[in-house]
C-alpha cells in the first residue's frame, strides 16, 4: 500500500524548473442585466478586475501549492504588462532568477470577461514568433547557469506555442538534463511536438496527440490510442507517454504496454489550467519515487479537482491528499 502522506511530505524538499510560455490571466468580473441597444450582445457592469499568473507560471503556482520550490524560466516583453507580470510573480513569492525581459517581445495577456460564473469572452494579446537567435542564446545560458548552480529535481517544459520554447532550447536543455539524470516532463503543443526527443514523460491531451502525429485516432479505443502513443515512445525515444482523455481518464504508455486510468466523476465548472495541474503533480510524484502509472492516477485526480473551480487556480494539496487516500490507497 502506498503511503501518500509520506510521498506528499517529500514534495516539500523538491525543486522543479519550469521552462515555457508565461502569461497574465486577467479577469473582468461583473453582472449582466441587459442587452446592448447597439448590437445583440450583453452589457457587463464591471465590478472587479484581477491579474493572475498563467501558462507556465500557473505550473509554478501549482508546484508551490504542493509544497515544492518552483524555478520559473521564461521570456516576457519589456512592457507595462511585463511589469505587471513581474510584480505579480513577486506578490506570489516566486523568484525572478529565470526570467528575461526583452523589447522585441510582448507579454502574453489573456483577458476573460465573466458574468457570475458565465464565461462571456476572452481577449488575447500575444506574439507567437520564436525567440530570435541572440535571445535564444541568452535564454539557454540563463537556464544552463541555473541547472548547474541549483539542485534541480525535475524539469517541466510547458509549451503554449508562444515562442519561448524553441527546438534549440529543447535540445540543449534535454541533453544537459539527461547528462545530470534530471527527469524531463513535457506539456506539448503542435509546433514543437516532434522536437521533444529523449524526454522522460510526454503528456499530450487527445487533441494534441492527433494534431501532433497528424492522425485520426479513435478516442473510444484504448488500443488505438496506445498505438499512437507507442509511436512517440519509439520514434522519439520518450520513456513514458501520458495521454489525458478528459472524461475517459488517462492512458499511460511505456512503448510495450499501457495502463488506462478512468476519470473520477466531477462537477466540471471550468477546465482552464487543468493541464498545468496534471504536469505539476506528475513531476512531483515521479521525483518523489512513485511509479509512473500511479503518478498519472494522482495527477488525473488533481486535474479533476481544479476543474470544479472557476478560473485558473492551483490544486489544494490537503484536498488532493484526501482524494488519493480515499480513491487510490
SS3 of the chain: CCCHHHHHHHHHHCEEEEEECEEEEEEEEEEEEEECCCCCCEEEEEEEEEEEEEEHHHHHHHHHHCCCEEEEEEEEECCHHHHHHHHHHHHCCCCCCEEEEECCCCCCEEEEEEECCEEEEEEEECCCCCCCHHHHHHHHHHHHHHHHHCCCCEEEEECCCCCCCCHHHHHHHHHHHHHCCCCEEEECCCCCHHHCCCCCEECCEHHHHHHHHCCCCCCCCHHHHHHHHHHHHHHHCCCEEEEECHHHCEEEECCCCEEEECCCCCCCCCCCCHHHHHHHHHHHHHHCCCCHHHHHHHHHHHHHHHCCCCCCCCCCHHHHHHHHHHHCC
CB atoms within 10 A of CB 303: 27
Q: What is the structure's pLDDT at 270?
A: 42
pTM for the whole thing? 0.91
Which is higher by pLDDT, 152 or 265? Answer: 152
Q: What is the structure's pLDDT at 312?
A: 59
Which is higher by pLDDT, 240 or 314? Answer: 240
Decide if domain 4-33+40-327 falls under CATH 3.40.1190.20: yes
Q: Is the pLDDT of residue 314 over 80?
A: no
How is residue 36 written as a grid cell?
Answer: 446592448
Q: What is the structure's pLDDT at 116?
A: 87
Closest CA to 57 of 24, 26, 90: 24
Q: How confident is the model at residue 329 (pLDDT cuts 50, 70, 90)?
A: confident
Over residues 269-305, the pLDDT tens digits come to 444 557 788 999 999 999 999 999 999 999 988 988 8
Active-site residue list: 276
How is residue 319 written as a grid cell?
Answer: 484536498
Percentage of the chain lying above the pLDDT 90 cut: 83
Over residues 212-237, the pLDDT tens digits come to 999 999 999 999 999 999 999 999 99
Average pLDDT along the chain: 92
Over residues 246-266, the pLDDT tens digits come to 888 899 999 999 999 887 655
Closest CA to 313 of 267, 268, 276: 276
Percentage of the chain lying above the pLDDT 70 cut: 95
Over residues 176-210, the pLDDT tens digits come to 999 999 999 999 999 999 999 999 999 999 999 99
- Bridge partners, residue 154, by sequence: 16
Closest CA to 22 of 194, 167, 139: 139
Strands in 22-35's sheet, in edge-to-edge order, are 42-55, 22-35, 109-115, 118-125
Q: What is the structure's pLDDT at 265?
A: 58
CB 258 within 8 A of CB 242: no
Q: What is the structure's pLDDT at 246?
A: 84
Over residues 28-80, the pLDDT tens digits come to 999 999 999 999 999 999 889 999 999 999 999 999 999 999 999 999 999 99
Query: What number is the average pLDDT over the span 1-20?
Result: 95
Query: What number is the average pLDDT over the span 309-326?
Result: 80
Q: What is the structure's pLDDT at 47?
A: 80
Query: Regarding beta strands 22-35 and 118-125, do their DSSP bridges make them parallel or antiparallel, or are they unpaired?
Result: unpaired
Q: How confident is the model at residue 238 (pLDDT cuts 50, 70, 90)?
A: very high
From residue 292, alpha-carbon distances to 66, 84, 250, 310 in Å are 18, 37, 12, 29
Distance CA 170, CA 178 (A): 12
Amino acid at each position: 500500500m502506498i503511503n501518500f502522506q509520506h510521498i506528499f511530505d517529500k514534495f516539500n524538499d523538491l525543486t522543479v524548473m519550469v521552462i515555457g510560455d508565461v502569461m497574465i490571466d486577467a479577469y473582468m468580473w461583473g453582472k449582466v442585466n441587459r442587452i446592448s441597444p447597439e448590437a445583440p450582445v450583453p452589457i457587463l457592469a464591471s465590478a472587479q478586475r484581477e491579474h493572475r499568473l498563467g501558462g507556465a507560471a500557473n505550473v509554478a503556482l501549482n508546484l508551490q501549492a504542493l509544497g515544492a520550490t518552483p524555478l520559473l524560466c521564461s521570456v516576457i516583453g519589456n512592457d507595462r504588462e511585463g511589469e505587471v507580470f513581474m510584480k505579480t510573480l513577486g506578490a506570489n513569492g516566486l523568484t525572478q532568477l529565470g526570467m528575461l525581459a526583452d523589447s522585441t517581445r510582448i507579454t502574453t495577456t489573456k483577458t476573460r470577461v465573466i458574468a457570475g460564473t458565465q464565461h462571456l469572452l476572452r481577449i488575447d494579446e500575444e506574439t507567437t514568433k520564436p525567440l530570435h537567435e541572440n535571445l535564444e542564446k541568452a535564454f539557454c545560458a540563463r537556464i544552463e547557469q541555473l541547472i548547474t548552480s541549483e539542485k534541480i529535481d525535475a524539469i517541466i517544459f510547458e509549451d503554449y506555442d508562444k515562442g519561448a520554447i524553441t527546438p534549440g532550447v529543447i535540445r540543449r536543455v534535454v541533453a544537459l538534463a539527461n547528462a545530470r539524470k534530471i527527469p524531463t516532463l513535457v506539456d506539448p503543443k503542435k509546433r514543437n511536438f516532434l522536437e521533444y526527443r529523449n524526454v522522460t514523460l510526454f503528456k499530450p491531451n487527445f487533441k494534441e496527440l492527433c494534431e501532433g502525429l497528424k492522425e485520426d485516432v479513435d478516442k473510444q479505443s484504448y488500443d488505438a490510442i496506445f498505438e499512437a502513443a507507442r509511436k512517440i515512445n519509439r520514434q522519439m525515444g520518450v520513456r513514458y507517454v501520458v495521454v489525458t482523455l478528459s472524461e475517459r481518464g488517462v492512458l499511460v504508455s511505456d512503448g510495450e504496454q499501457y495502463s488506462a486510468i478512468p476519470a473520477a466523476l466531477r462537477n466540471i465548472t471550468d477546465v482552464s489550467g487543468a493541464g498545468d495541474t496534471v504536469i505539476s503533480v506528475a513531476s512531483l510524484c515521479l521525483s518523489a519515487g512513485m511509479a509512473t502509472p500511479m503518478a498519472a492516477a494522482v495527477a488525473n485526480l488533481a486535474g479533476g479537482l481544479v476543474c470544479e473551480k472557476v478560473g485558473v487556480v492551483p490544486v489544494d494539496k490537503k484536498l488532493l491528499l484526501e482524494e488519493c487516500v480515499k480513491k487510490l490507497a
